[in-house]
Amino acid sequence: MNIEKYTERARGFIQSAQSLAMRDGHQQFSPLHMLKVLLDDSEGLAGGLIDRAGGNSRAILKATEDALNKLPKVSGSGAGQIYLAPALARAFDAAEKNGRNGELQKELETLFNRENKSPSKDATSIPATFLRVAVALT
């Protein structure tokens, strides 16, 4: 994963998700951690996307929290060290490869241009990252 390819805001989400995994004692940094952080966002970008598409972001948040609570917790000498889950690694890889070049990315940028202004044309935006992480969960 090349963190430099992400916007500053996306990097903040990634770091928050990693912190969540560590704080909860999870050894694996998974798509669930990313989804939880995105759904908890005070600006409501991910939740708004889900709700506008006809979904129920609160129900998804609850299901995500329930799934996170079922993950194994590590304490002692192994605590504090996390590794990237294969599903999340694939999602990040797809986001980096597709970035702003994919047709879906262009559509998302148009849809979310008010909520997410990327400072660099080489950065991967939050909508693209969210979509790819969400797809990795299914």
Write the CATH number for 22. Answer: 1.10.1780.10
Q: Domain span at residue 49?
A: 3-137
What pLDDT was estimated at residue 130?
60
Whether the full predicted model's pTM is greater than 0.85, yes or no, is: no
Residues in the chain with pLDDT values less than 50: 101-105, 107-108, 113-118, 135-138
CB neighbourhood size of 135 (10 A): 13
- Residue 79's region, left for phi above 0, alpha for psi from -120 to 50, else beta, is beta
How many domains is the chain partitioned into structurally?
1
